[in-house]
Amino acid sequence: MNYQHPSSKFTMPTEQLASREATAERSKKLAPDCAGSNFFEMDHNLQALLLQYIDGALLDHIRPHLDSLGELCGNELHDLADASERHPPVLRQRDRYGRDDETVEYHPAYQRMEEIAYARYGIHAMSYRPGVLGWPTKLPPIVKYVFQYIFSQTEFGLMCPVNIAGSSSELIRRYGSDEVRTRFVDRMLSQDMNQLYRAAQFMTEKAGGSDVGAAELVAARDGENWRLWGEKWFCSNVSGDVVVVLARPEGAQAGGKGLGLFAMPKHLADGTRNAYRVVRIKDKLGSKSMASGEVRLEGAVAYQLGDLNRGLKQMLEMVNSSRVSHLARAAGMMRRCLNEALVATRNRNAFGKSVIDHPLMRRQLLKLMVPTEQALSALLFTASVSANEDQPDAQKILRIMTPICKYRACRDNVTVATGSMEARGGNGYIEDWPNAKLVRDAHLGVLWDGTSNINALDAIHRSIKKEQAHLVLQQDLETRLKRAEGLPGQFRTRLENGVRQAFAFAAEVAAEPDNERFCRLAAGQLYHAVTMVLLAEEGLRAAATGGDARRLLLARFVLEHRLQNNAPLNIASLKWEEAAIDLLLDDGPISLDRATTLLVA
C-alpha cells in the first residue's frame, strides 16, 4: 500500500499558508495507518501457510469467514476497539436506591465487539462444540487460534474472556457434577447473547501471583456445596457469570496439592447475587477494554470440580490452551505492528526518498519481520499438534512448546511493538495512532499466565528435566530436516548443528539446579531452533507447488541472528543480507533457485 501524495510541494501565497487548505495539503505528507484495510487479505504469509496446515475442504469453508473478520478488523472493529480503549468499564457499587449491586458497566462499543466475537464467529465455542460457522463437527484448535490471531490485531483485551470461556467450560464438563454441567456448559458455549454465560477465572491473590500454591482463599463445606471466604487480587473479566476459582478447603495441606477447583456462579439458582463483592476495577496500563478487578468473597456458594486434592493439576490441564492463545495474540499483534511499520515507512518521505528506501531502516524492518514470522510458524505448528493432544508424542511436544512459545513470542511482541512505534516516529507515541495501544498491550502478554521466568523454568526444569519432553521434539525436528528435499546440503548441516547445540545446551542447563540463571537463554534457544526448522520446511513446501520460498531466507536470519547470534563482524560475510532484505521487503514471490543461492552465499 502506498498512499504518499505524489507531490511534496505546493505553491500558495504567503498569506494563505495558515489557511485550512494549506493545513490539509501539508497533512498529506503524514503516513497513514492500516485502518481501512482487510487484515486477512493483506496477510499473504498467513494465507500461504494455511494451505500447508489446514485441510482443503475445511479451509474453503472457513476462508470467507476469515476474510469477513479481516475486513471488520480494519474497519468496524478497529473503531470499536478504539472507542472501548477510550471508554473503559466502570464499576457502580450501588444502584440509585442505595442497594449494593457492584455492576460493571461497559461501553456500547465493547458490547458490540462481544457480539462479533461470541455471536457472529463463536470463537469461544468453535473447538468445543459442533455447528459453529456451519461446520458439522467441532472445529480443530488451529481454526480457533487463527481467528484469535486475526482478531488480536485490532483488539487484544477481549480475547482473554473469549479464550477463558472455552477452557472454563471444558473444566466444568470434565469435572463438574451432572447438575453443574447441565446448568452451565451449554450456556457458556452459546452464541445467543441473551443466553450466553460469560466466563471468568479468579486465581491470583495478594500472597502469590505466579506462586499459586500460596493461595489463602478458604473453602468451607456447606452441605453438598462449598462457601468461599477471602480475597482474589487479579480477577480477569471480573463481571463474568461463571467463575472458575482455586481455593483451599478447610484443613487441607499447604501448597499447591492442597488446592481444590470450584465453579462459582455470579447469580444463584433463585436469581439472587452470590456472596462476593467486586471491590474495584484495576486501572491497568493496557487491555483497558476488559474489566480486571479485585474481589472479596464473603461466603460465596461454589461447586466442587473434581478431586479436592487435584484442583491445581486439573486447572493446569488447560494451560496448553491458554499458552497457545497467548502465542496467537502475540503473533497477531506482531503482524499488526509489522504492517504498521511497513505502511508508515513506505508512505513517508525523509531526506529526499521514502523512509523504507534507507538501508538502515530496511535492516530494522527485517528485525521486526523475523520474529513476526517465527511466531506465526510456531503458532500453526503448535496449534496443529493440539489436535492430537491425546497421543503421547503430541503431549510431549505440547508440554515443551507451550512454555517456550509463551516465553519467547510474548517477549518478542514487546520489542516488535516498540520498533514499530519508532518506525512511525513521533506520531507513534500519540494516542491518535495505533502504536501506543499496541505497546501497552504487548507488555501484558509477558505477565498473564506466568511471567517470562515462570515459563522458562517450566520449560527447562519441568518439561525437560522431569518429563524429558525435549527428546520427542528434537526427534521431530531432525526428521523434518532429513526429509527436506531441495535444501542445500551445506545449509542443512548448519541447521542440524543448530538444533543439536540448542537441545544439548537446554539439557545441560536442566541437569543442575545451579544452572537456573540460564533457563531463559535455553528456552529462547529452543524456540529459535524450532522456528528455524519450521521456516525452512514451510519455504520448501511452498516452493514445491510453485509458491513463495521466502521463508527459507527467514530461516537463515533466525540461524545467524537469533540462534547463534555470533555472525562474524565483517562486511563480506553479511553481503548476502542486502539481497535477501530486498527480496523480503518486496511483495513479489521469491523463487526456490534464488532463495537457495542466498542460503549458501
- The per-residue pLDDT for range 526-576, each reduced to its tens digit, is 999 999 999 999 999 999 999 999 999 999 999 999 998 665 668 888 899
Task: Give the separation between CA 65 and CA 206, rounded to whole angstroms.
Answer: 42
Range 14-29 average pLDDT: 88
Instruction: Give the domains, in start order, of the chain with CATH numbers.
Output: 44-90+104-175 (no CATH), 194-308 (2.40.110.20), 319-599 (1.20.140.10)
Question: 97: Cβ–Cβ under 8 A, 6 or more apart, which residues?
Answer: none
Range 510-523 average pLDDT: 96
Q: Residue 379 in contact with residue 462, Cβ under 8 Å? A: no
Q: What are phi and psi of 290, to 5 degrees?
A: -95, 130
Range 89-113 average pLDDT: 94
Average pLDDT, the chain: 94
What is the reported pLDDT for 10? Answer: 60
Q: Residue 83 in contact with residue 106, Cβ under 8 Å? A: no
C-alpha cell at 574: 553479511
For cell 501457510, the residue is 49
- Judge whether residue 432 has pLDDT over 70: yes
CB burial of 31-69 (b: ≥16 within 10 Å; e: otherwise) equals: bbbbeebbbbebbebbebbbeebbeeebeebbeebbbeb
C-alpha cell at 194: 441473551
Task: Give the separation between CA 262 and CA 218, rounded to whole angstroms.
Answer: 11
Range 209-223 average pLDDT: 89
Own/partner long-range contacts of 123-127 (Cβ < 8 Å, ≥24 apart) = 123/147, 123/148, 123/151, 123/162, 124/162, 124/163, 124/165, 124/166, 124/188, 124/189, 124/199, 125/165, 125/166, 125/189, 125/190, 125/191, 127/166
Q: What are phi and psi of 292, to 5 degrees?
A: -105, 135
Helix boundaries (H) for 483-518: 489-511
- The per-residue pLDDT for range 350-364, each reduced to its tens digit, is 999 999 999 999 999
Residue 448 DSSP SS3: coil
Helix (H) or strand (E) holding 222: strand 218-222
- Judge whether residue 520 has pLDDT over 80: yes
Find the farthest-apart pair of alpha carbons in the chain and give their distance in angstroms, rounded.
86
Range 205-229 average pLDDT: 89
Range 471-488 average pLDDT: 96
Helix (H) or strand (E) holding 361: helix 359-386
- The per-residue pLDDT for range 155-167, each reduced to its tens digit, is 999 999 999 999 9
Rg for the chain, CA atoms, rounded: 25
* pTM exceeds cut of 0.75: yes
